[in-house]
Structures are given as C-alpha cells and as structure tokens.
Structure 1
C-alpha cells in the first residue's frame, strides 16, 4: 500500500472508499461491440450499474445489422435508463460522410458519438464492458474528484493476474516511450503524461463542459488522445487519477489484426501527436533506437519486481515485444481526429435521430416490435 501524490491529484484505495456522489447527474458511456453480447463480464457490468442507478447509460454499439435487434433486446432486460446508439447504421454513416467525418471506425469514434448524447448531463463517466471484476463503486470513485474542483478524472489499477504482470502495452511501450522523450525534452506535457499510473486505462470521468471541447482519436489512441486534450483544458491542477482497486479484463495477443502490435501503431501515433501539439519536436531518426534501449531497461526492472513477488516473467518475450513496438514509432500521419462537439458540423440531435431510425429499421427487420423502443428520439438535448 502506498499514498504518494503525483503532479496530478492521486486518490488511493487505502480503506475501500465508497464515496457518496451524485450519480443521478451522471451519464455512463459503455462502448460495446458484438463480442460483448451476453458475455459474463458485460452482464456483470450492467448488473452492477443497476445498483449505481445513473441518470443514463449510453451504449455505443459497433455491430452488423443482423445483430442489432437481439443486442437491443438483451440490453433492455436491465433496469437502467439505457440508450443503445448503433454507431455503424447506414443513416449514421451517411450523416458522417456528408460532413466529412467518415473514416476509420473504432472505439474512439463510438465514444465520441455517445459523448455527444451525454452532454446534457452534468458529468460523464466512460468505461469498458469487459471488466470481470467490475464494481458498482467504480463510477462514484471516478466522479468524486469532479466534486472537489477537478474537471478530469482517470482510473488506474495494477494489472496482475494469473501470477503474471499484464498491462504490457502500457508497461513496455507507453511508459518507456514517454520516458525516452522526457530524457531529451523538458516539456510539461511529458510530465503530465508520465504522472498517470495506468494511462491506457479505459475508465475516466469528466465534466460535460470539458468534454464539449475535447477532440477524439478514432480508435485505440482514444485514451492517450483524451489525456492530451485534458492537459490542454484541465492541466495539472484540475486533473486527478483514482485507484479502482482489483481489476481483471480480457487480454490480447501480441500479434494479429487486433493484437498489441497493431494497437501500438495507433497508440504511438497518438502519443507523438499529443506531444507535438504541445511543442515537442522528436528526432524520429533516433527515437526508435533510444526507445528500445529504455524499454530493455524497463524489462530488467520488471523482471526484478516479478522475481521479488514470485511471479512468472518471460524476460525474453518482453524484450521481443519492445523490439516489435519500436517498429511502430514514426512521425504521425494526417490528423484525422474527430472535432470537439463545440466545433462539430453536426449536432448530437442529428446523430440521435439518424441512429434511432437505423435502430427502428434493424429491429423491424429482426421482427421486433417498436412499441417499447427506448431509443427513439425522445431524450432531451
């Protein structure tokens, strides 16, 4: 147990905190894809959210048309004020395309669409649906700093499962890359990025006022891009991180189309875009080699920590991962971030209307009666 403060306010799990917070003024965004359908982890998340009783739960859904009706009906089983926002429906896609917002689909785009719907609530919490250890206290814990003058709150936790260290993309890529950049550049943004104990966590909370101004990465760069925007809008004084305690969720392979090596390319680009936004000009010729050296040093440290705790540790495999991640470090390409909702050429109401019509059509095709559809465009803006 430790109680050290970082440059951002750090709230620790010292006594199983269960703060009282205004969850009735909070929208919770829980992005899902078809793989979450009726899964044990997702069912736990939804059941626990019933005990939280937030003002609204918004599920941005990325799934094919033939899965939408059964997904909606499954979500409707829970005692929640829940809106399913089908993010890949034809009218939503056409709306985005007509305003030059088409492009890569991914978690970041899904969350951006859902956050637009959540802005009428005072606070917004975003978290994943694959958490096997999800607790009803995650939402109140994430909200608490917002009651104490902060505008942005990030979750963190230790990734130790099955007698092994996980959190590999954070441990072996994000942290060593940020450290490498900080060794060469004295920039507050690098101190900010280094202050978060698990920067790639999918759990965060923010005031709706802040989220109106945030540009969103389209896919796996969401978490890093959000930190960059929070640095610009909230800074050190109005940012916080919260220990969420025990946390287990699904793991990804290193290779493959949705593996960590692919993710590292998007995450690396997001990191480098954030730092260049704030005046850092990396030497891209030498950066991969310098990162690799730093990453190998991190492997040595983690090996020592694992041995001390009696954990299994594949030193050779983790060094191979560092070498793989080094190949992902390159100058960022064109900026395809989604605009802040304050500057967007479309409105949340237009998205909601398009998504509602898409949902109605998908449900009709699936033989589902619309009479009890809670996703029709009846929510107030």
Structure 2
C-alpha cells in the first residue's frame, strides 16, 4: 500500500471505501463481443451493475446476427434495464458507410458509437470492459468520484497478478518502456502525461459528457492510448485523475498472431506515435527502437526483482523475447484512421439509436428481449 502522487491526481485504495459519486447522473458503457456471452466474468460484471444502479447502462455489442438473439435474451436476465447497441448491425453499418465512416472497425469504434449515445443525455460517462473476474461494486463510484470534484477525466489502474505471475504484459513490456525511452529523447509534456499513468492500457475510465463528445477515437486496439492523447489536449494534468481499482483478473492473450499481443502492439504503437505526430514531434524511429530495447531490458530486470520479492514465478527469457517482438511495432503511424469527435461528426446519436433499433428489429427474440431506449 502506498500513497505517492503523480503529476496527475492519484486516488489510492487505502480504506476500501465506496465514495459518494454521481452514479444516477451517469451512463455506463460496456463494450462486449459475443465471446462474452454467458461468460463468468461478464455475468459478474452485469450482476454487479444491477447493484450499482447507474442512470443508464449501454452494452455496445459486436456480434454476428445469429448470436444477437441469444445475447439479447441473456442480457435481459440481470434484473435491470440495459440498452443494447448492436454496433455492427446492418442498419448501423449502412448508416456509417453513407456518412463516410465505414473504415477500420473494432472495440474503439463500438465505444465511440456508445459514447455518443451516452453523452447525449447523461452528465457523466463511464467505460469499462466485461472481462474482469474481480469486478467490484466500488469500481464505477470510484471512477466517477473525481468528476464530482471537478476533474474532467479519471482513469482506472490496478495490479495484474494471477496464478502467481505478473500479467499486463503489453503495458509492462511495451508501452511503459517505450514512453520512458521517448521521454528521454524528446522534451514534450504529453510524454510526462502519458508516463504519469500507472496503467495506460486499462479499459476503465470516466469522463464528463463534454469531454466524451470531444474525443477523436481510435477505431481498434489503439483506443486507450489514443484517448489519453486526446484527453491531454482537453483536460491536461490539472483536469485528470487516476483511481486505484485494486487487483484485476482478466482474460489473457497469446503473444503471437494477429489477435495476439504482438498484433495489438502495432495498433497501440501507431496510436502513441499519432499523438506525437499531432504535436509536431519528428521521431527517429531507428533510434527510438534501440532505446526502447534498452529500456525494456532494464524494466525486465526490475520486474524480475519485484517478482522474486513477492515469491512470484517469472520467466526472464520469455519477457526479454517479448520486448524484442514488440520492438517491431515501432514505426510510422500510417494513415490517420481516427473517428471524429461527436461535436464534429456527420451523424447524430439519435440516428445511431434509430439504426440500432432497426437492426435489432430484424432479430427474433422469443424472450421479449431488451429494447434500446432513445
């Protein structure tokens, strides 16, 4: 347990208190895919949300048509009104294509759609994933509490320790050493900002509706890092807080493969370098790649000492190999695929809701289902 402050306000879990928070004036966005259907972690999250009782819950679903009906019926079992936003429903896809927004898609685009809908009628918005088996009823209030104190944005952080091992590998072994290497090479406050977050890849955050409408969202796995870059421009150090959410147990991915951590690193790296490009920082990618390898190796040694101190298993060779793998993701960010801020978007949240409702209307629902409330 510690109580050290960063350059952003850091709110620690010192007493396991559940702070007063504006849950009734907030919408909670939960991005999900059909793989979460009836999963233990997702059921814990949804059951807990019923006790938290926020003003609104929006489940942003990406699923094939044949899975939507069972998912909708399962969602209706949790004893509270949840709005199901089928983000890749046929009418939604057509709407986005008609407005020139039919490019890359993934979690980021789903969250962006739900943020627009949520921010249209709620004062605050919370976003969190549905894969945390350790999800607790304090998480939403803790994320919201700083907003009630005048902050515009709060980010969750937590320890990733399971099965006597350290996890959170993409952050520990890619983002953290890369930000350290960049901070040593380039003098820009955004790098200090990124380095102040204890877990920059956490999927849990809360924001004012005004900030949510101002975010340009990365459509895929670069969402979390890209959001921090956007938030720096809007809220800065003084308007940002991070909140201790304890220890989390999540699903784990393999390192290799397009859907593995190495594939995710390419999107995360591109989002990070897009932030620097926005600020006119000209990056020497070869030099940064080498500096990252050195920073990564040093941090592996630090993690090894921490693991030994806590009697955790640690494979130093495998961690060093991951650093070498992630180094290949360091390069030019490529085309800018960010979705526009909702303040500039060529469509309205009401149009998204209408398209989602029309998509859901085509899916049989023998149990009555869950309707999306406008």
TM-score by length of 2: 0.98
Give CA-to-partner distance per residue, 1:119-171, whole Å, 9 cap, x none: 11001000000110100110000000001110000000111111111110001
Match of 1:196 in 2: 197
What CA distance in whole angstroms lies between the structure 2 residues aligned with 1:95 and 1:14? 47
Match of 1:243 in 2: 244
What CA distance in whole angstroms lies between the structure 1 residues aligned with 2:211 and 2:177? 29
8 A contact 2:73–2:370 mirrored in 1: no
- Report how far residue 32 of structure 1 moved: 0.5
Match of 1:87 in 2: 87
Match of 1:368 in 2: 366
- Report how far residue 373 of structure 1 moved: 5.0
What CA distance in whole angstroms lies between the structure 1 residues aligned with 2:370 and 2:169? 40
8 A contact 1:169–1:264 mirrored in 2: yes
Give CA-to-partner distance per residue, 1:217-254, whole Å, 9 cap, x none: 00110100110111000000010000001211111110
Question: Size of the alignment, in residue pairs?
Answer: 373
Match of 2:35 in 1: 35
SS state at 2:286 partner:
coil
Match of 1:326 in 2: 327
SS state at 2:10 partner:
strand
Match of 1:77 in 2: 77
CA-atom RMSD in angstroms: 1.1
Q: Does 2:15 match 1:6?
A: no
Match of 2:220 in 1: 219
Match of 1:54 in 2: 54
Relative distance call for 1:374 and 1:160 in structure 2 (3 A) is: closer
Give CA-to-partner distance per residue, 1:52-105, whole Å, 9 cap, x none: 001111001000000001101110111222110111111111111111101112
What CA distance in whole angstroms lies between the structure 2 residues aligned with 1:200 and 1:99? 30
Relative distance call for 1:236 and 1:307 in structure 2 (3 A) is: same
What CA distance in whole angstroms lies between the structure 2 residues aligned with 1:130 and 1:285? 36
8 A contact 2:161–2:247 mirrored in 1: no
What CA distance in whole angstroms lies between the structure 2 residues aligned with 1:180 and 1:257? 26
Of 274-283 and 246-255, more deviation after overlay is shown by 274-283
SS state at 1:210 partner:
helix
Match of 1:142 in 2: 143
SS state at 1:245 partner:
strand
8 A contact 2:41–2:131 mirrored in 1: yes
- Report how far residue 305 of structure 1 moved: 1.3
Match of 2:20 in 1: 20
SS state at 2:21 partner:
coil
Match of 2:266 in 1: 265
What CA distance in whole angstroms lies between the structure 2 residues aligned with 1:41 and 1:152? 26
Match of 1:345 in 2: 346
What CA distance in whole angstroms lies between the structure 1 residues aligned with 2:226 and 2:233? 11
What CA distance in whole angstroms lies between the structure 1 residues aligned with 2:23 and 2:296? 41
SS state at 2:214 partner:
coil
Give CA-to-partner distance per residue, 1:3-44, whole Å, 9 cap, x none: 000000000011112112121111000000010001110000
What CA distance in whole angstroms lies between the structure 1 residues aligned with 2:174 and 2:335? 22
Match of 2:316 in 1: 315
